[in-house]
Chain A
């Protein structure tokens, strides 16, 4: 008899633990999931879009990049063709960062309409594509080697 009782007790305890665990996980996921959005999708969210961790993906809008290398201050706009969002980031952009480049920025969209980014990642396809003139590694290397400022 007692073994039967303990069995039910144990089962109930396991049940309570599983439910508590599920609830904790749900809460944890709910508040910490990072959504991946394009500028259009983010703008469509309206007030819902502010101040949540997210990843914003799109292209660097040509002509929008302002980079202050002394203050390490980077401003640019991300566009998906329809919408565009201003991004502000601290720190040097990655090497391949340039106009028209596909990027993913991580951070929060502020109430001031500027996306505060904590990291800027360049999306490069794995397929090989010949670098443009002046960007070829050998040329960058050469220009550094031959420069009088060295």
Chain B
């Protein structure tokens, strides 16, 4: 029953999206705006149907209905309910259902909010969204069908992949990633809509999708950080980023999307880069589909690659269609995309944004080439190779450092042309802070050039961006006699995108400090210890107390109790474990991390004697790693500030908000 309901809902959704995608353009061509309600109805109906199907599948999982192939594949009666529900995205087919649902939700929401807009932009964007939804429905009735019948119905199933049910973050990272990845379909659909309707010359598509793009970007950022956190907390190697193809797949579209968030400002302010922005958004979407292809087709083996099968060809065909179609659309509109403005001076905010885009683009291509190279090498030369951290670190560190530097320079530069003396004042606090940070790093023992530069520029960017808040709020305090906090909040709500952006910059600084410190000053050691023995790493002493075992609902656990000593006092107890799942022959190492503001003690149980007489543990001192997660939160806060509706401007408000900027521009 559940199975038929869920499957038929997708079949009907397939029909509805097909009809909508054919009917929409006809309605627009005939100029029948009264017919558009049927197009939009298709979008809403699709949402209702996919919601129904998704809920049915979740019900099937929770009720252990093993007559559904997906439930038989990932379900098990022993799995706790939380992990049963989130196994919706624990394997290929379910993750495509979830994808289709998120897409249907975005489509319904964006159409609902913009249904009354004049012109043909929204109808064509709705058609584009339906076409993308159609592709995922085809996957669901074809190569990724989760609703196949199973006969005879098994009594129990194997349960989800142990790695995916070992940590609560599995309930956080995938949904965030989908919300980010799929959300980028919205600006893409409006970019295509703008090209189809010929409305590319004005910034309509950018303005309509501004909040949606920032929302998707915020989710994608959060997803990447949460993925790093998951890798750090679960995989036991003590790192958070390995340039694994799967990590790269989420990072590559983030790079182009971040470039876009900056370059649209050049278009809105100066009427430049129109063609570039269209291409950037189309490229970002194609890169999300490419990323899905890499992670879901089984072409790369990892925890994310679920299966091998024909689904890869569907993705490649879809990417090909999107590329060809958008190429024609861009070419057909190229005469309308001339720049209105031009670069006035080399020292201006426009230049900073251009360089920002140059670096982000080169960064993207570097990561993309490094990720795809092993596939190409194996296909062309038949050799098995991997491109590891040394390549990515060597190639991307210069660009990262340059981007962090730009993050400090950009906000200090005015549009059009900068004047020397005022620039000095804006850069000075940052420069002082940067030198302090770099000096601290040198004293602590950093010797690598990139490491010292990272601290220098992180301090610089922090100083410049924080100064913007301080100076702006001070000006309001002087002009209105407001208290400082009120002034700050009014300053931010008066120009949310600007201050949301600066907030995000501060988040990037925190992430940079965490990454730079942990990769420069990390210390690790392994030791085999008898009860009572201890090991000291970077001045932190850990004593092994005892090994123990315990039975849990779905697994058996062997652990070691370690005490983090402060002299004779026990500062904290840390229990790294190994989890044994009945369906898996290898245990899942489960490290435990104790965080402080200065850094983490990271413990992983490597081996133990069967009789409990000794254990081998790895101890890692990870300086400033929690700052990465805090930086992630600040980045999301920045996105949130950018998305929330701005304060209604009263008659005098624009003058008030602009006051400090004007005062600085004309000294």
A contact set with B: CB distance below 8 Å: 21, 24-25, 28-29, 32-36, 53, 55, 69-70, 72, 90-96, 122, 124, 128-131, 135, 137-138, 140-141, 143-145, 147-150
Query: For residue A135, which residue of chain B has the nearest CB?
Result: B585
**A32 vs B391: C-alpha distance when bound (angstroms):** 5
Subset of 6 A-B contacts with CB under 8 Å = A28-B394, A32-B391, A33-B391, A69-B616, A92-B606, A144-B548
A95 and B526: CB pair below 8 A?
no
Query: For residue A145, which residue of chain B has the nearest CB?
Result: B549
Contacting residue for A92 out of B377, B586, B587, B607, CB 8 A: B607
Query: For residue B611, which residue of chain A has the nearest CB?
Result: A147
Contacting residue for B586 out of A70, A122, A141, A150, CB 8 A: A122
Query: For residue A148, which residue of chain B has the nearest CB?
Result: B611
Contacting residue for B387 out of A34, A95, A130, CB 8 A: A34
B373 contacts across to A, CB distance below 8 A: 29, 33
Q: Does B558 contact A (CB under 8 A)?
A: yes
Q: Which 8 A-B pairs have the closest CB atoms?
A: A137-B580, A36-B384, A32-B391, A92-B606, A147-B611, A92-B616, A149-B611, A149-B613
**A122 vs B607: C-alpha distance when bound (angstroms):** 14
B386 and A141: CB pair below 8 A?
no
Q: Indicate whether A141 sits within 8 Å of B549 (C-beta atoms), given known contacts A33-B387, A36-B386.
A: yes
Say how far B61's CB is from chain A's closest CB, in angstroms.
Answer: 20
A137 and B556: CB pair below 8 A?
yes
A143 contacts across to B, CB distance below 8 A: 610-611
Contacting residue for B370 out of A21, A29, A36, A149, CB 8 A: A29
- Majority-rule SS of B interface residues: mixed
Contacting residue for B611 out of A29, A69, A137, A144, CB 8 A: A144
A32 and B546: CB pair below 8 A?
no
Contacting residue for A21 out of B365, B388, B547, B551, CB 8 A: B365
A33 and B385: CB pair below 8 A?
yes
A25 and B395: CB pair below 8 A?
yes
Q: Indicate whether A144 sits within 8 Å of B385 (C-beta atoms), given known contacts A95-B587, A124-B586.
A: no
Query: For residue A32, which residue of chain B has the nearest CB?
Result: B391
B526 and A32: CB pair below 8 A?
no
Contacting residue for A72 out of B158, B527, B546, B548, CB 8 A: B527
Query: For residue B373, which residue of chain A has the nearest CB?
Result: A29
Query: For residue B387, which residue of chain A has the nearest CB?
Result: A33
Say how far A92's CB is from chain B's closest CB, in angstroms.
Answer: 4
Contacting residue for B528 out of A36, A72, A93, CB 8 A: A72
Q: Which of B522-556 contact A (CB under 8 A)?
A: 526-528, 546-549, 551, 556
**A34 vs B611: C-alpha distance when bound (angstroms):** 40
Query: For residue B366, which residue of chain A has the nearest CB?
Result: A25
Instruction: Known A-B contacts: A33-B386, A96-B585, A147-B610. Give 9 more (CB < 8 A).
Output: A29-B373, A29-B387, A128-B158, A131-B585, A144-B548, A144-B611, A147-B611, A149-B611, A149-B612
A144 and B578: CB pair below 8 A?
no
A69 and B528: CB pair below 8 A?
yes
Q: Does B485 contact A (CB under 8 A)?
A: no
**A149 vs B586: C-alpha distance when bound (angstroms):** 25
A150 and B612: CB pair below 8 A?
yes
B contact set with A: CB distance below 8 Å: 158, 362, 365-366, 369-370, 373, 377, 383-388, 390-391, 394-395, 526-528, 546-549, 551, 556, 558, 578, 580-587, 589, 606-614, 616, 618
B526 and A72: CB pair below 8 A?
yes
Say how far A147's CB is from chain B's closest CB, in angstroms.
Answer: 4
A28 and B385: CB pair below 8 A?
no
Say how far B645's CB is from chain A's closest CB, in angstroms.
Answer: 40
B589 and A95: CB pair below 8 A?
yes
Say how far A88's CB is from chain B's closest CB, in angstroms.
Answer: 15
Q: Indicate whether A69 sits within 8 Å of B586 (C-beta atoms), given known contacts A24-B395, A32-B394, A35-B383.
A: no
Contacting residue for B556 out of A28, A32, A141, A148, CB 8 A: A141
Contacting residue for A140 out of B390, B610, B618, CB 8 A: B610
B387 and A144: CB pair below 8 A?
no
B583 contacts across to A, CB distance below 8 A: 128
Q: Indicate whether A144 sits within 8 Å of B384 (C-beta atoms), given known contacts A21-B362, A33-B373.
A: no
**A130 vs B610: C-alpha distance when bound (angstroms):** 20
**A150 vs B547: C-alpha distance when bound (angstroms):** 7
B589 contacts across to A, CB distance below 8 A: 95
Q: Indicate whether A140 sits within 8 Å of B558 (C-beta atoms), given known contacts A29-B373, A150-B612.
A: yes
Query: For residue A137, which residue of chain B has the nearest CB?
Result: B580
**A36 vs B365: C-alpha distance when bound (angstroms):** 24
B616 and A72: CB pair below 8 A?
yes
A90 contacts across to B, CB distance below 8 A: 526
A28 contacts across to B, CB distance below 8 A: 391, 394-395
A25 contacts across to B, CB distance below 8 A: 365-366, 369, 395
Say how far A93's CB is from chain B's closest CB, in angstroms.
Answer: 7
Say how far A52's CB is from chain B's closest CB, in angstroms.
Answer: 12
Say how far A48's CB is from chain B's closest CB, in angstroms.
Answer: 14
B386 and A55: CB pair below 8 A?
yes
A141 and B580: CB pair below 8 A?
yes
Query: For residue B237, which residue of chain A has the nearest CB?
Result: A119
A144 and B558: CB pair below 8 A?
yes
B607 contacts across to A, CB distance below 8 A: 69, 92-93, 95
B365 contacts across to A, CB distance below 8 A: 21, 25
**A130 vs B606: C-alpha distance when bound (angstroms):** 23
A24 contacts across to B, CB distance below 8 A: 395
**A127 vs B282: C-alpha distance when bound (angstroms):** 39
B370 contacts across to A, CB distance below 8 A: 29
Q: Indicate whether A150 sits within 8 Å of B386 (C-beta atoms), given known contacts A21-B365, A124-B586, A143-B610.
A: no
Say how far B44's CB is from chain A's closest CB, in angstroms.
Answer: 40
Say how far A91's CB is from chain B's closest CB, in angstroms.
Answer: 5
B587 contacts across to A, CB distance below 8 A: 95, 137
**A21 vs B158: C-alpha distance when bound (angstroms):** 48
Query: For residue B393, which residue of chain A has the nearest CB?
Result: A32
**A36 vs B381: C-alpha distance when bound (angstroms):** 13
Contacting residue for A138 out of B386, B556, B609, B618, CB 8 A: B556
B584 contacts across to A, CB distance below 8 A: 128
A129 contacts across to B, CB distance below 8 A: 585
**A21 vs B370: C-alpha distance when bound (angstroms):** 13
**A96 vs B606: C-alpha distance when bound (angstroms):** 11
Say how far A11's CB is from chain B's closest CB, in angstroms.
Answer: 15
B614 contacts across to A, CB distance below 8 A: 69
B526 and A92: CB pair below 8 A?
yes
A34 and B556: CB pair below 8 A?
no
**A73 vs B373: C-alpha distance when bound (angstroms):** 35
**A69 vs B97: C-alpha distance when bound (angstroms):** 48
B388 and A34: CB pair below 8 A?
yes
**A16 vs B383: C-alpha distance when bound (angstroms):** 31
**A11 vs B305: C-alpha distance when bound (angstroms):** 41
**A32 vs B394: C-alpha distance when bound (angstroms):** 9
**A59 vs B476: C-alpha distance when bound (angstroms):** 71
A29 contacts across to B, CB distance below 8 A: 369-370, 373, 387, 391
**A72 vs B607: C-alpha distance when bound (angstroms):** 11
Say how far B1's CB is from chain A's closest CB, in angstroms.
Answer: 30
